[in-house]
């Protein structure tokens, strides 16, 4: 039985690679040999030239947000713009909600 494909990201290279998931071990970027981040199978990378998109992705990944499929098919809401990220980070600061939870909140009160 073939292994399911999942995505790994190298933030410094702005590169994403679909590879079989063979367990939790370090994957190295074929471009720079740094460790890649396992982001999940429901991930779609921003274009390499989209600097703002990669900044948003960096904030999400450093906060522990990943892109795994849920029971409904997709990973759920993820902010796509720096404005959406800033709104959710401000919400987390004022309410005390953990950052990783605030970042995936579709609507803010």
pTM of the model: 0.88
Summarize pLDDT for 23-58 with one digit per residue, the tens. 777 899 999 999 999 999 899 999 999 999 999 999
Pairing label, strands 37-40, 5-10: antiparallel
pLDDT tier at 71, thresholds 50, 70, 90: low
Cβ neighbours around 10 below 10 Å, total: 20
Closest CA to 7 of 68, 77, 74: 68
Q: Give the residue extent of every domain in the chain.
A: 5-103
């Amino acid at each position: 039985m073939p292994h399911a494909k999942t995505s790994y990201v190298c933030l410094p290279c702005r590169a994403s690679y679909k590879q079989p998931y063979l367990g939790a071990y370090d994957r190295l970027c074929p471009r720079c040999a740094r460790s890649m981040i396992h982001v999940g199978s429901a991930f779609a990378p921003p274009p390499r030239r989209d600097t703002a998109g990669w900044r948003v992705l960096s904030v999400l990944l450093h906060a522990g947000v990943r892109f795994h499929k849920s029971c409904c098919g997709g990973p759920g809401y993820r902010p796509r713009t720096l404005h959406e990220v800033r709104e959710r980070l401000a919400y987390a600061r004022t309410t005390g909600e953990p950052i990783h939870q605030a970042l995936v909140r579709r609507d803010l009160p």
